[in-house]
Amino acid sequence: MKELLQEIIDKNRKYTKEGNVATYIPELKKANRDDLGLCIIDVNNNIYEVGDCEKKFTIQSVSKPITLALALMDNGKDRVFSKVGMEPSGDPFNSIMKLEITKPSIPYNPMINAGAIVITSMIKGKNNDEKFERMLNFFRKLSGNKNLDINYDVYMSEKRTGDRNRAMAYLLKSEGILQGDVEMVLDLYFKQCSIEVTVKDLAKIGLNLALHGIDITTGERLIDEDISRIIKTFMVTCGMYDASGQFAINVGIPSKSGVGGGIMGTVPNKMGIGVFGPSLDKKGNSIAGVKVMEDLSIKFDLSIF
Name the residues annotated as catalytic.
Answer: 61, 64, 189, 241, 259
Cβ atoms < 10 Å from Cβ of 182: 19
User: Is the Cβ of residue 150 or residue 230 nearer to its own copies in the bound state?
Assistant: 230
Cβ atoms < 10 Å from Cβ of 299: 12
User: Is the Cβ of residue 91 or residue 294 nearer to its own copies in the bound state?
Assistant: 91
User: CA angle, corner 179, sides to 177 and 183, nearest 5?
Assistant: 115
User: Is the Cβ of residue 59 or residue 169 nearer to its own copies in the bound state?
Assistant: 169
To its own copies, the closest distance from the beta carbon of 32 in angstroms equals 27
User: Is the Cβ of residue 47 or residue 86 nearer to its own copies in the bound state?
Assistant: 86
The answer to whether the CB of 252 falls within 8 A of the CB of 23 is no
Q: State the alpha helices, DSSP H only, in 1-123.
A: 2-12, 63-75, 77-83, 97-101, 113-121
The answer to whether the CB of 5 falls within 8 A of the CB of 40 is yes
CA 30/CA 232 separation, integer angstroms: 31
Listing from the earlier edge strand, what are the strands of the sheet with 255-257?
Answer: 47-51, 37-42, 271-276, 262-267, 255-257
To its own copies, the closest distance from the beta carbon of 213 in angstroms equals 13
To its own copies, the closest distance from the beta carbon of 101 in angstroms equals 5
The answer to whether the CB of 121 falls within 8 A of the CB of 179 is yes
To its own copies, the closest distance from the beta carbon of 211 in angstroms equals 14
To its own copies, the closest distance from the beta carbon of 295 in angstroms equals 16
User: Is the Cβ of residue 198 or residue 208 nearer to its own copies in the bound state?
Assistant: 208
Please state the residue numbers annotated as binding site for substrate: 61, 113, 158, 165, 189, 241, 259
CA 282/CA 288 separation, integer angstroms: 12
Residues that bind its own copies (CB under 8 A): 85-91, 95-101, 108-109, 163-164, 166-171, 173-174, 182, 229-230, 232-234, 236-238, 242-246, 248-249, 252, 254, 268, 303-305
